Amino acid sequence: MLSHTRRKFLLAGAAAAGALALGAEGLLVEPNHPKLVRVEIPFPRLPAAFDGFTIAQLSDFHYDEYLGVVPIRAAIEIVNRVQPDVVVLTGDFVTVSFFADYLHNQKESAMMAGPCAALLEHLRSRFGSLAVLGNHDVDASAGLVTEALMSHGITVLRNRAHAIEQSGARLWFCGLDSMWGKPRIDLALREVAKDEPVILLVHEPDFADRAAKHRVDLQLSGHSHGGQVWLPGIGAPWLPSYARKYPRGQYAVGPLTLYTNIGLGTIRVPMRLNCTPEVTLFTLRAGKANRSGS
């Protein structure tokens, strides 16, 4: 028969072992092994020529030469294996720390855009890679991050539109600046015909409430990291501004469909728990949109 003291000791030891196991999983395993999430998106304005068109989304890289390279390389391998039609990159290529010397950190962070873009240059798809900036990119230097991406063959959309043509039909990708910058959806949409389908790329998912007032079919975002830690029955203990309403997965927001990718990298603490880094592969389907929400 175990004494009361002995029983308490064993229970405490078991709890500590469990905490250590969770910590090891969150620090060493989960952040480095992105998963492929397949999502089928139907919407009514998609031309038949684009039925079955595939989009791979990556987000929130937060490149760091010591901590952030492994998940990015793994994600690139996944994308190249599934061979999408186009790749979209929804921001936060670098990280700006708000501790210590902020101005110094801005400069150091901007310098990370080049190595990150050099990695992402290895992504393969029929129509290349399209990108928008995130709040950390804007804080570091929107100009330097944009220049780094474009120098490695990545098209950066800052309040402008990009059309992909196929069999006489067009599918528009409109990219906006981060909400920490100056997002102008009116500028991005001005060259798009009213009857043509629009996919909006913007870093912050909560922008969907504004996008729903415009002729947007699908919005793809990131920013939230899914909270990095997601507790059963509770959710994320912390979420950033502009990602608290739509933190992860698929939503119906008025007439548009929103998808929030939980990203690849981490900030503050290099840990993920129940928030496995994500590569999302969308397959577009011509037909009635699913308004079930999430």
Residue 268 has pLDDT above 90, yes or no: no
Mean pLDDT over all residues of the chain? 88
pLDDT at 102: 53
Residue with tokens 């989009």: 55
Cα separation values, 92 from 139, 263, 266, Å: 10, 9, 10
2 in any annotated domain: no
10 in any annotated domain: no
pLDDT at 18: 36
CA angle, 241 as apex, 239 and 245 as ends, to 5°? 70
227 in any annotated domain: yes
Beta bridge partners, 173, equal 162, 199
Model confidence pLDDT, tens digit, residues 228-266: 999 999 999 999 999 999 999 999 999 999 999 999 999
CA atoms within 13 A on the CB side of 191: 13
**241 burial level (CB within 10 Å; 0-12, 13-18, 19+):** exposed
Mean pLDDT over residues 55-66, rounded? 92
Give the domain CATH number at 242.
3.60.21.10
In sequence order, the 6+-apart residues with CB closer than 8 A to the CB of 244 are: 206
Model confidence pLDDT, tens digit, residues 97-139: 765 455 556 778 888 999 999 999 999 999 999 999 999 999 9
Residue 5 has pLDDT above 70, yes or no: no
Greater confidence, 18 or 177?
A: 177
15 in any annotated domain: no
State the pTM of this model: 0.88
132 in any annotated domain: yes
When divided into structural domains, the chain yields a total of 1
